[in-house]
């Protein structure tokens, strides 16, 4: 498989053009695009990989999206804002952003990871995007990172008519979506519970009308239902659209 890892100035310029940002220190971008599998193979020439940057980028991204949501929806409460933020920064969503920025073409991967399809793996792509945002933050500060994140994510914010959905709990929202598509409702079944009476953990299975199952745990039956419904919502949105 051809290795598209960035080795030239033109490669980095291509990414910078997609980002709308030119690095003062391009080595930060190179590090952000370097997966640990690649660094581990460079025995003779040790290099830094992007895991530390991904750690920082996760926090920077959360603050950027929180800031964006807070100022975009001044009337929404914390719970609804949290749901919107979670929808924007899911691994699948961030991987899609990484692909739109062509980061998938230029990640430096080790040979084994490359052969196993790492270049298309959502977890690697989402981590790489977070590392790139951290690189911008280190290179130019939070204001620039916020500017770039806003340009990327603002077009994906829910429209006014969609915002009401984020006031609803997972179970209610899932039921409405499933009823609309299947004219039926999801079913929930208790599998069992473990632990002492004051600290039981309940396990339930949710079944959609198409036969897909989701298992989740919670400190109460209702909390386990909500957790399962959240997982089903992610699947439902990907499989059928909202």
Given 58, 127, 225, 227, the catalytic residue: 58
The token pair that represents 111 in the structure block:
């040979």
In degrees to the nearest 10, what's the CA dihedral of 227, 228, 229, 231?
90
122 is known as an active-site residue: no
Using CA atoms, how far apart are residues 5 and 206, in angstroms rounded to an integer? 42
58 is known as an active-site residue: yes
In this structure, the number of other CB atoms found within 10 A of the CB of residue 197 comes to: 6
Q: Are 106 and 4 in contact (CB under 8 A)?
A: yes
The per-residue DSSP string of 175-219 comes to: HHHHHHHHSS--EEEEEEEES-GGG-EEEEEEE-TTS-EEEEEES
Q: Which long-range contacts (CB under 8 A, 24 or more apart) does 208-217 make?
A: 208/178, 208/182, 208/232, 208/235, 208/236, 209/178, 209/182, 209/184, 209/185, 210/182, 215/191
The per-residue DSSP string of 10-23 comes to: HHHHHHHHHHT---
Given 130, 139, 225, 227, the catalytic residue: 130
Q: Is 241 exposed, middle or buried (0-12, 13-18, 19+ CB in 10 A)?
A: exposed
Catalytic machinery residues: 58, 130
């Amino acid at each position: 498989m051809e290795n598209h890892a960035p080795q030239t100035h033109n490669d980095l310029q291509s990414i910078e053009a997609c980002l709308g940002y030119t690095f003062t220190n391009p080595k930060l971008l190179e590090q952000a695009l370097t997966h640990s599998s690649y660094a581990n193979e460079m025995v003779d020439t040790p290099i830094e990989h992007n895991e530390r940057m991904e750690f920082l980028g996760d926090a920077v991204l959360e603050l950027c999206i929180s800031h964006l949501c807070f100022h975009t929806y001044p009337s929404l409460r914390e719970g609804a804002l949290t749901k919107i933020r979670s929808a924007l920064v899911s691994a699948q969503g961030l991987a899609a952003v990484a692909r739109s920025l062509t980061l998938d073409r230029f990640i430096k991967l080790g040979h084994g990871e490359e052969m196993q399809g790492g270049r298309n793996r959502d977890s690697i792509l989402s981590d790489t995007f977070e590392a790139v945002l951290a690189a911008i933050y280190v290179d130019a500060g939070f204001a620039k990172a916020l500017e770039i994140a806003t340009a990327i994510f603002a077009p994906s914010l829910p429209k006014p008519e969609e915002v009401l959905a984020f006031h609803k709990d997972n179970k209610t929202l899932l039921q409405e979506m499933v009823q609309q598509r299947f004219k039926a409702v999801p079913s929930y079944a208790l599998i069992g519970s473990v632990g002492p009476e004051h600290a039981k953990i309940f396990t339930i299975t949710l079944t959609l009308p198409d036969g897909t199952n989701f298992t989740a745990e919670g400190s109460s039956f209702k909390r386990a239902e909500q957790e399962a419904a959240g997982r089903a919502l992610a699947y439902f949105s990907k499989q059928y659209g909202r």
